[in-house]
Structure 1
Amino acid sequence: MSSVTPHKFAIAAGEPHSTIRVRNLQCSVKVGTDAWGRSGKLQPVLISVAVDLRHGFGSSGVEDKVDASTIHYGVLSKGVLEVVEKFGSSAANTKEITEQTTLVGLWNTIFSALTGIVLDRQQKVQSFAADALVDPQVVRSVEIKIMLPKASLIGNGVSLCGAVLLGEGEEVVLEQTRGLQLHGLRIPTLIGVNANERLAKQIVIASIKLDLWRKTEDEYTKLEELVVKTIGESSFETLETLAHQTARMLWDFFGFVATTPHTPSITIGLEKPTAVTFADAPMIEYTLNEENNLPLPNERARKW
């Protein structure tokens, strides 16, 4: 089993035959930290689950009934909500910050309930649970996304999304991927090449994704603080340089290093809503990994 980028995971998983999705299951639970970095606070959570079947719908698609060849989305939804409720009860009785109160802990708990596969802190198979919501022999891959819409001070929320490719033989987990994302941070900054753009700050909407996220601690408020400081105090002319420099700052801050055969990557998406009058926004997207983690060409880029 190895951790890979979402692109390489998609290649390994291939085109799915059939998929059952449940989007944005709404619940509230004490998990992670709130927008101010405080733990133990009840907050809204949106959970999305996608299950790719190994062989298509089979008899369920022919006989017009829900049987063992598919996954009952009602049972799936109810099961996930019950798991979250139990997680919340456990977290409520825990005053200390442990893995059972973190965003990663909730993701692992939902995954274990779905598949019966228990992962350890290194995301390796530790044991197998007696019961599972889905049959790993029927399911090819499972994707779980946990969204905290109120965990950001100036953005649209924080999410942790992970997917696991399941095997049929002794190796039950073939590949996995997981990423942490900050959505839609609205940050005022001095940006632009035109003379009028140098007179005042304008809003830049930033979305940040860190692939191959291995940390178990909740550090998204720290991540947001660093992004806001880096972008807000900058005065670059181009979004390209701003994206590159922001990615470099995050790379150095989190101490990413090369791993074999896969390396972490940081994707920065930047939008300027007021730059083009008759469009929602121009946008650039930049991904930094070990292959293109190069120094900037000159000190001109370090303007803050």
Structure 2
Amino acid sequence: MYGQPWCRDGIRVEDLALQHAPKSGVDAWGREKQQPLLLSVSLSFRSAFDTAASQDALDESTMHYGLLSKNLRALRPVQDWETLDSLAHRIHQTILETPPGHALIQSCQIEIKLPKASLLGDYVNYVYFVEDEEHTGRVLHLSRVFIPTLIGVNDNERTAKQKLYVSVWIDRIQADDSESYTELERILTQAIEPTEFETLESLAIYVLKVLKMNYEPLKSRETSVRLRLEKPQAVPHASAPIIEIVRTSDELAAMVR
């Protein structure tokens, strides 16, 4: 359905800075160093928060987002360094320990944003999704990597490189691959920089083939990829023409046979 919401009743806390920033993930050079981290959580409730609304007072049909934020900000490092997946798991446990906890929450989405973890991109985002304690999903998102590229069908576009922004989402990534974004960025830049395609469509297919053959997490049977290419100089009266392509693991495998 167009415009479908992420929940019927729920709350979201966005871009929360932690008071005791954990050393988690790797920096843009792949080192286990302290770096900025912003946390967003989205909670979908099992039922409506009608009683809180009718009484105009907080009760167990909702969660106090101020208390949730306080509990999350108080989260402390438990070791010298931990993976993003380990941190996401601890964040989830903190959410469940915030009243009313599990009895209220049907699903939970945790987003760990690393604004300095990409050399050429806007940020890295690690998304950790849990539904009813049974299904856990993970997405690694590398946002808007800037790669000057020779791309275009017009004569003027064949004379010089222009701006290209590349975004990638790796869906159903494994927990052990939560720090693979530096490898992903390296493969993208090395693959795209020397190319001279005329269309974004051809470039997109080429990039997916390169990723499938060289990026280790895509060798998993269940892992799929979404790729977005933005070419801001191409249309003078628009911010950018954009193409997107999504391929499942089976479709990726068929592309490189």
- The TM-score normalised by the length of structure 2 is 0.90
1:10-40 deviation per Cα after TM superposition (whole angstroms, max 9, x unaligned): x9xx97331111000023432111111111x
Shift of 1:103: 1.2
Q: For 1:158-169, what aligned pairs fall within 5 Å after superposition?
A: 158-166=124-132
Residue of structure 1 equivalent to 2:83: 102
Q: Structure 1 pair 195/22, CA: closer, same or farther in 2 (3 Å)?
A: same
SS in 1 for 2:41: strand
Q: CA deviation at 1:114?
A: 1.6
Q: Distance in 1 between matches of 2:6 and 2:147?
A: 38
* 1:152-172 Cα deviation digits (max 9, x unpaired): 111111010121111xxxxx4
Q: What residue is the counterpart of 2:152 in the other structure? A: 192
2:25 is equivalent to residue 60 of structure 1 = no
Compared CA separation, residues 134 and 33, structure 1 to 2 (3 A): farther
Q: Is residue 213 of structure 2 the alignment partner of residue 256 of structure 1? A: no
Amino acid at match of 2:16: L
Distance 1:45 1:114 in 2: 18
Q: Aligned pair count?
A: 249
The aligned counterpart of 1:25 is 16
Aligned-partner Cα distance in 2 for 1:284–1:15: 24
Displacement, 1:232? 1.0
Output one character per residue of 1:187-209: Cα deviation in whole Å (capped at 9) or x when no partner: 00111111111111111000011
Contact 1:179–1:213 (Cα < 8 Å) also in 2: yes
Is the aligned partner of 1:138 residue 2:100? Answer: no
Change (3 A) 1:165 1:255: closer
Structure 1 stretches of at least 4 aligned residues deviating more than 6 Å after TM superposition? none
User: How well do the aligned residues superpose, as a CA RMSD in angstroms?
Assistant: 2.1
Is residue 2:64 matched to residue 1:72? yes
Q: Cα deviation per residue 1:63-87 (whole Å; 9 max; x = unaligned)?
A: 111111110000111111112xx12
- The answer (yes or no) to whether the contact 1:79–1:133 under 8 Å persists in 2 is no
Aligned to 1:124: none
For 1:37, the aligned partner's letter is G
Pairing 1:268–2:227 present:
yes
Deviations along 1:134-186, one digit per CA (max 9) or x if unpaired, are: 521211111100000011111111010121111xxxxx42x332100101111
Amino acid across the alignment from 2:23: K
Change in Cα spacing, 1:216 to 1:223, as seen in structure 2 (3 Å) is same
Q: Which has the higher strand share?
A: 1
Moved more, 249-258 or 235-244: 249-258
Paired residue type of 2:211: L
Gaps of 5+ in 1: 1-10, 95-99, 116-130, 167-171, 298-304
Matched with 2:136 is: 176
Structure 2 counterpart of 1:225: 186
Contact 2:67 2:98 in 1 (8 A): no
Is 1:281 the equivalent of 2:253? no
Question: Take 1:192 and 1:267, find their aligned partners in 2: how far apart are those partners?
Answer: 22
The CA deviation string for residues 225-260 of structure 1, in whole angstroms up to 9 with x for no partner, is 11111111211111111111112211222263564x
Contact 1:247 1:267 (8 Å CA) reproduced: no
Tell me, what secondary structure is at the counterpart of 2:67? helix
1:204 maps onto 2:195 in alignment: no
Q: For residues 161 and 134 of structure 1, do their structure 2 counterparts lie closer, same or farther at Cα, with a shift above 3 Å needed?
A: farther
Q: How far apart, CA to CA, are the structure 2 residues paired with 1:109 and 1:61?
A: 31
Q: Which residue of 2 aligns with 1:112?
A: 93
TM-score (norm. length: structure 1): 0.77
Task: Report the more deviating stretch, 246-255 or 195-204.
Answer: 246-255
Q: Percent identity?
A: 36
Task: Provide, for residues 210-237 of structure 1, a one-character-per-residue CA deviation record: whole Å limited to 9, x for no partner.
Answer: 0001042411111111111111121111
How far off its partner does 1:132 sit? Answer: 4.8
